[in-house]
Amino acid sequence: GIRQRGYIMGVNINVLAEDGTICVAHSGVELGQGINTKVAQAVAYRLSVPLSMIVIQHNSTETIPNSTVTGGSGTSETVVNAAIMAADVLLKRLQPYLTHTNDTPWQDAIDAAFSNGVNLSAQGYWGGGPSGSVKTNPLYDYFVYCACCSEVELDVLTGEIQVIRCDIVYDCGKSLNPSVDIGQVEGAFIQSLGFYLTEAVVQCEKTGQVLTAGTWDYKPPTALDIPQIFNVTFLKTSNPATVSTLGSKAVGEPPYQLGASVFFAAKQAVYAARADAGLTGYVSLNTPATPVDLQTACGIAPEQLTL
């Protein structure tokens, strides 16, 4: 489970009276994890407006200061919660201008509110405790469940490995955006393949100098390391935690651990190769299990290489 202290995130929503455009600034950092998409969707959902009316602005400490770092797989959730809080503040002000059936056109409501001097800017602040106080964040008092089954092929002569198939089942709760979250699962998994198989850090024993300082010697995963068959399935669940973000769960770092399935599949292939060579007993195989490590572990002797 994830239990974090000190997530502090803010969101500012400004509605332009002229055309009703909703400008949103938040304190998270978009670095490919889709936080901007999730925030825009949350605001559009809460205000019952088309997603096309949401504009995500650049983040800056001049706009929203005093936030915590983007990391720990929880920023998207906390920022979305802050966005929902800001949208609720705005909705409360606009309530007199919206019908009970909520079918008043957004622009008409904005025009009427602006004419009456209503403040069309709102702020949401997520600090994890009552009234925004910074306490242990109940948002992360839950567990993420996931499983992976992997099939690999090992060339016993070179130690090179090919990931044939991976099937991942992940408990994302009610995903805020399945397309984004599946990408996060896939990305974390491929990143973990480097940790388990290729990204060996070698240092000089005398000087401590890193000898694998570039991609000539340090090997992160490439497109050719992606499993030939790669399936990701989300369980149809919801987050049962007392406080959650629309029933979702964290995604980002948790799937990283699933790369271990490829490592253990490779180790099983090593045992199979050793059995063919008449070798038995336990084999110690550390991570990353590089091609050299795997080839050595197979125990293939030169005299076995006959035509």
Residues with active-site annotation? 253
Residue 231 backbone phi and psi in degrees, to 5:
-115, 130
Give the SS3 label for residue 115. helix
Q: Can you list the alpha helix ranges (DSSP code H) found in 127-240? A: 178-193
The Cα-based distances of 129 to 65, 162, 288 in angstroms read: 19, 48, 41
Q: Can you list the alpha helix ranges (DSSP code H) found in the chain? A: 35-47, 75-94, 106-115, 178-193, 260-276, 291-298
Strand 22-26 and strand 54-56: the pairing is parallel
The rounded distance, in Å, linking the Cα atoms of 193 and 225 is: 8
Distance of CA 253 to the CA centre of its chain: 6
The Cα-based distances of 82 to 128, 148, 186, 214 in angstroms read: 10, 33, 27, 41
| CA neighbor of 123 nearest in space, from 79, 161, 153 | 79
Upper half-sphere CA count for residue 188 (Cβ side, 13 Å): 24
